Amino acid sequence: MSRQQEYVLRTLEERDIRFVRLWFTDIQGYLKSVAVAPAELEGAFAEGIGFDGSAIEGFSRISESDTIASPDPSTFQILPFHTEQDGFLSARMFCDITTPDGQPSWADPRQVLRRQMKAAGQAGFTCYVHPEIEFFLVRSVETDGYPPVPADSGGYFDQAVTDEAPNFRADAINSLERMGISVEFSHHETAPGQQEIDLRFADALSMADNVMSFRYLIKQVARRNGVRATFMPKPLSDHAGSAMHTHLSLFEGDENAFHDPDDEYRLSATAKSFIAGILEHSCEISAVTNQWVNSYKRLTSGDEAPRAASWGASNRSAMIRLPMYTQNKAASRRVEVRTPDSACNPYLTYAVLLAAGLKGIQEGYELSAPAEVDVSMMTRRERMAAGYKDLPADLDHALRAMEKSELVADALGEHVFEFFLRNKWREWHEYQSQITPWELRSNLEF
């Protein structure tokens, strides 16, 4: 038994923890959980927990349904809430999903990201991620299809405006920090009820785990404050949607591979090719970074959401922005990708972003000139004349681009690639079949 496993078992006994929740995600990024008693955990470390993989969408066929969840002791954390039934603490660990013979499951999003991190490691890089996660606090999510009512009427950086839950952000940050998830900033965003919490950087896999924990904790804290949290990309038609702006950097040992003190933008050749790779493959990866029908309502509405594959220094209308606050600090040189939304699967999103960037480095992609205008205010013809490739305007276009992509197929693996497409095409066709209130208001009298 490893030291980490021994630490987990000792902590369970010392803290009198009654249940351990073993977490993993499905391909769409829904959190799955099985609770085990501490007495069963030593066996779970040795042999894993068996479950019916065919009951999890996209995991395995019914003829190959035996699947193993192997807890990763390095992810052990005590949950910050006592159970309401008996007042005892519980803990959680993320799991790696394997087949009965011990091989990594091709359906496990955690394994998908781990493969890309291995590819980065073989190229000499470690990838660090720092997300800015936006979400809405609303009075209820049970709206019968009507728009939700925001929990406050505040705007950008407003102080103490969360009318229905004034202590929410303090409670949320405290809960995150107690689980070892470091918070860098938090503030009210532009729309009523909209919040942003930025997490301190970590390696890509740890951060993907943190994002999943974040979404769980935020929903729990919201309930305890009498409101609800939603990570839906655009729940309000007249206001900005919720992004997960993602800062990425590559390090070679202790050195930031993106920094060059002699460059105008302090960008190395590695960084420029990395940016060029993400821009070149932006349409192909869009269905992963923006996986829902609703995701494209955010991207096409403006409000600082990118419409085209462009980059710029401090330009919040560009798809990739260079933060210029500390441009001379080598360790802080990073790129901010502004397309992902808060409802993506973070494992798959980080995997395809890393794959596209690494492709740019491997192939020596050249970076185009930076955008120095508000790209979102340009017409389509103006964007074409400037050489900016439009991002997909809906899930249909995004899936068509993904279907043709060797890069995404390689990054996700055949199993995840095929299931993702099949599942999302079903979502798109179900959406297309709906008759919307707008259509009835506009056309019923014709």
β-pairing verdict for 228-230 and 19-25:
unpaired
Binding residues for L-glutamate: 298, 304, 316, 338
Cα distance between residue 358 and residue 93, in whole Å:
30
The pLDDT value recorded for residue 317 is 85
Binding site members for Mg(2+): 132, 134, 189, 196, 245, 336
CA 69 – CA 44 distance, rounded (Å): 8
- Bridge-based pairing of strands 19-25 and 89-98 is parallel
Residue 307 DSSP SS3: coil
- pLDDT for 63: 37
Q: Which two tokens stand for residue 293?
A: 């029908």
Q: Which of 290, 338, 355, 284 is nearest to 123 (CA)?
A: 355
Q: What is the C-alpha to C-alpha distance for residues 93 and 91, in angstroms, rounded to an integer? A: 7
CA 148/CA 126 separation, integer angstroms: 41
Which residues contribute to the annotated binding site? 132, 134, 184, 189, 196, 245, 247-249, 298, 304, 316, 336, 338
List of domains in the chain: 17-105 (3.10.20.70), 114-435 (3.30.590.10)
Q: Give the pTM.
A: 0.94
CB 93 within 8 A of CB 8: yes
pLDDT (tens place) for every residue of the chain, 446 residues total? 799 999 999 999 999 898 899 999 999 999 999 999 999 999 999 988 887 766 666 555 443 456 889 999 999 999 998 765 566 889 999 999 988 888 888 889 999 999 999 999 999 999 999 999 999 999 999 998 889 999 998 887 777 556 777 889 999 999 999 999 999 999 999 899 999 999 999 999 999 999 999 999 999 999 999 999 999 999 999 999 999 999 999 999 999 999 999 998 999 999 999 999 999 999 999 999 999 999 999 999 867 899 999 999 878 889 999 987 677 677 889 999 999 999 999 999 999 999 999 999 999 999 999 988 888 888 888 888 888 999 999 999 999 999 999 999 999 999 999 999 999 999 999 999 999 999 999 999 99
Instruction: Give me the pLDDT at residue 374, please.
Output: 85
Specify binding-site residues for ATP. 184, 247-249, 316
What pLDDT is stored for residue 50 in this prediction?
Answer: 84
pLDDT number for residue 62: 41
